[in-house]
Amino acid sequence: MANLDRTATVDEVCAALDRDGFSIVEGLLDPGEVAEKRADLLGVLRSTLTGRNDFEGFETRRIYALFAKTRAFDAPATHSLVLGVLDRVLGEYQLSAPQGIQIGPGETAQNLHRDDGVYPIARPHQELVVNTMWALDDFTEANGATHVVPGSHRWVEEVPGPKTVSLRAVMPAGSVMFFVGSVFHGGGANTTDRPRLGVILEYVAGWLRQQENQYLAVPPAVVRELPQRLQELLGYNVYGRLIGNWDGRHPLKALRG
Q: In CATH, what number is assigned to the domain containing residue 39?
A: 2.60.120.620
* pLDDT confidence band for 2 (50 / 70 / 90): confident
Question: Domain for residue 235, yes or no?
Answer: no
Opening angle at CA 205, ends 199 and 211, nearest 5: 55
* pLDDT confidence band for 257 (50 / 70 / 90): confident
Q: Does residue 26 surpass a pLDDT of 80?
A: yes
For the chain, list the strands marked E by DSSP.
Answer: 22-25, 60-63, 93-95, 99-103, 129-135, 147-148, 167-168, 176-180, 185-186, 196-205
Question: Domain for residue 214, yes or no?
Answer: no
Question: Domain for residue 216, yes or no?
Answer: no
Question: Domain for residue 2, yes or no?
Answer: no
Q: Does residue 83 surpass a pLDDT of 90?
A: yes
Question: Domain for residue 188, yes or no?
Answer: yes
The dihedral over CA atoms of 129, 135, 138, 141, expressed in degrees to the nearest 10, equals -20
Helix or strand or coil: residue 220?
A: helix
Q: Does residue 1 surpass a pLDDT of 80?
A: no
* pLDDT confidence band for 241 (50 / 70 / 90): confident
- How many domains does the chain contain in total? 1
Query: What is the C-alpha separation between 52 and 210, in angstroms, rounded?
Result: 21
Domain that holds residue 34: 10-207
| For range 191-212, the mean pLDDT | 98
Name, in order, each residue with C-beta under 8 angstroms of 223's C-beta and a sequence gap of 6 or more. 231, 234, 236, 255
- If you ran DSSP here, which 8-state letter would residue 239 be given? B
| For range 207-225, the mean pLDDT | 97
pLDDT score at 20: 98
Looking at residue 241, its amino acid is R
